[in-house]
């Protein structure tokens, strides 16, 4: 009973810390966001329900949890998910107000400046096709044109209608040298602007990002440790150990999905659809921690006798191998993992690649990994179905 109380205290403490961070954000950046006044307090519902669940479990059930469902984890998730989503939205809102605005303005300025610069030199009759193509390549590889505008006026020669006196070869060398200096100044200006933007944003976003990542990590640790410390509720120690191993792997996949999908500095981080899909799939995947479906069934003694009795009972009561198939905890565990985690992760990542154009190496790798896991899960279900069919018909 003491362990049950300690686990629920840890759940409540983590939810309270997340709530305090939400209130701090609501007083600062989220104050400008249009939302219902009760939205920051929504996670208190989970904390209140967790308190009543603790009272009922201790005084009515003696601290014992249910066998297949864990109410304390469910109320813990209700208390923590709204807070985490609001903190993530706060960080996204700050990104929209700072980096994304700078990114969009740079795109517009780049397009306008490139058109004017290329038009200026395309109109000149003294430049060869090679020189024009060289200038086009230099400009197309540049993303910041503030330093370029001043350097161009001072360094580049003004085109004239008469051939240069120093010779065509000398003119090409001078033009290429000027373009090389221009490219160097552009890179230096971009580096300085990035450093300035980083200094301006670091004081707010860095601390908030560390808090959010820390809350994500503590959430998954508490889910595993809490399941370990809570009373077993009718499952064996072997099943509990297997369940904890499954939880650790599942938690690592969920943390990777929510924290590593968006790469820092990538233009895709300004997409609202990307963030909303990540939050939705993340919240949905956490629901599997409410259920206590182990990865394998417990060993049974007298296997031969039990096999004959089970076959006879199934033929008399069920009349079909399908019902016996779904009585297998392995089947329910794999189906739950498929529909709550593996399929949503694979679908979301495929959408990111084909619709949002996020084709980084890690994104492609994890997408292929999710698809491979889905195929292996389906193959495992097929094997269990065939085994059950042979077992039901007596071919063993």
| pLDDT tens track for 181-217 | 666 665 665 566 556 545 544 444 447 788 899 999 9
Predicted local confidence at residue 348, as pLDDT: 95
- pLDDT at 384 exceeding the cut of 80: yes
Identify which of 196, 199, 177 has the alpha carbon closest to the alpha carbon of residue 188. Answer: 196
Mean local confidence (pLDDT), 349-362: 90
Q: Quote the percentage of the chain above a pLDDT of 90.
A: 26
Residue, of 28 and 308, whose pLDDT is higher: 28
Mean pLDDT highest for which of 126-130, 172-176, 185-189, 262-266? 262-266
User: According to the model, what pLDDT value does residue 218 have?
Assistant: 94
**Is residue 247 over pLDDT 60?**
yes
Cα separation, 33 vs 206, in Å, equals: 21
Share of the chain above pLDDT 70, in %: 60
State the chain's mean pLDDT as an integer: 74
More confident of the two residues 305 and 246? 246
Check residue 395 and give its pLDDT.
Answer: 55
Residues paired with residue 291 on neighbouring β-strands, in sequence order: 69
Q: Please tell me which residue, 61 or 106, carries the higher pLDDT value.
A: 61
Kindly tell me if the per-residue pLDDT of 150 is higher than 60: no
Distance between CA atoms of 72 and 51, rounded to whole angstroms?
9
Q: Give residue 262's pLDDT.
A: 83
Tell me the Cα Rg of the chain.
31
Domain chopping of the chain, boundaries: 104-196, 236-396
Measured between its terminal Cα atoms, the distance across the chain in Å is 46
- Kindly state the DSSP code that residue 287 receives in the 8-state scheme: G
More confident residue, 385 or 80: 80
Q: Is the per-residue pLDDT at 114 higher than 70?
A: no
0.85 surpassed by pTM: no
What tens digit of pLDDT does each residue of 254-285 get?
999 988 888 777 777 888 899 999 999 999 99
The burial class, CB within 10 Å (0-12 / 13-18 / 19+), for 281 is buried
In this prediction, residue 388 carries a pLDDT of 77
340 DSSP assignment: I
Range with the lowest mean pLDDT among 35-39, 50-54, 82-86, 246-250?
35-39
Q: Which residue has the higher pLDDT, 392 or 146?
A: 392
The average pLDDT across 145-156 equals 49
Residue 320 vs residues 1, 67, 313, 324, 334: alpha-carbon distances, Å: 43, 27, 11, 7, 21
């Amino acid at each position: 009973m003491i362990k049950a109380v300690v686990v629920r205290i840890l759940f409540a403490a983590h939810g309270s810390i997340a709530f305090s961070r939400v209130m701090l954000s609501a007083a600062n950046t989220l104050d400008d966001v249009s939302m219902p006044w009760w939205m920051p307090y929504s996670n208190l519902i989970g904390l209140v329900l967790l308190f009543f669940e603790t009272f009922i479990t201790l005084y009515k059930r003696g601290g014992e949890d249910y066998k297949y469902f864990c109410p304390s984890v469910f109320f813990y998730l209700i208390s923590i998910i709204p807070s985490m989503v609001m903190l993530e939205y706060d960080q996204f809102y700050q990104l929209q107000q700072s980096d994304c605005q700078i990114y969009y303005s740079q795109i517009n300025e780049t397009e306008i400046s490139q058109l004017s610069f290329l038009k200026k030199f395309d109109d000149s009759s003294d430049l060869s096709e090679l020189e024009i193509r060289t200038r086009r390549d230099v400009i197309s590889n540049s993303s910041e044109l503030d330093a370029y505008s001043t350097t161009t006026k001072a360094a580049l020669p003004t085109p004239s209608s008469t051939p240069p006196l120093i010779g065509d070869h000398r003119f090409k060398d001078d033009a290429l040298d000027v373009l090389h200096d221009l490219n160097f100044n552009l890179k230096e200006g971009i580096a300085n602007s990035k450093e300035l933007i980083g200094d301006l944003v670091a004081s707010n976003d860095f601390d908030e990002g560390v808090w959010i990542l820390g809350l994500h990590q503590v959430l998954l640790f508490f889910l595993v440790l809490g399941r370990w410390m809570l009373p077993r509720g009718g499952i064996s120690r072997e099943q509990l150990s297997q369940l904890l191993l499954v939880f650790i792997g599942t938690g690592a996949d969920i943390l990777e999905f929510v924290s590593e999908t968006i790469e820092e500095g990538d233009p895709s981080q300004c997409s609202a659809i990307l963030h909303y899909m990540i939050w939705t799939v993340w919240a949905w995947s956490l629901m599997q921690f409410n259920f206590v479906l182990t990865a394998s069934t417990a060993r049974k003694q007298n296997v031969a006798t039990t096999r004959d009795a089970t076959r006879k009972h199934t033929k008399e009561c069920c009349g079909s191998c399908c019902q016996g198939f779904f009585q297998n905890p392995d089947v329910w565990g794999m189906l739950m993992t498929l529909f709550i985690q593996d399929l949503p992760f694979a679908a979301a990542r495929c959408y990111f690649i084909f619709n949002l154009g996020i084709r980084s190496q890690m994104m492609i790798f994890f997408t292929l990994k999710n698809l491979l896991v889905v195929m292996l899960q389906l193959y495992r279900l097929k094997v269990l179905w065939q085994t059950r069919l042979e077992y039901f018909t007596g071919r063993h």
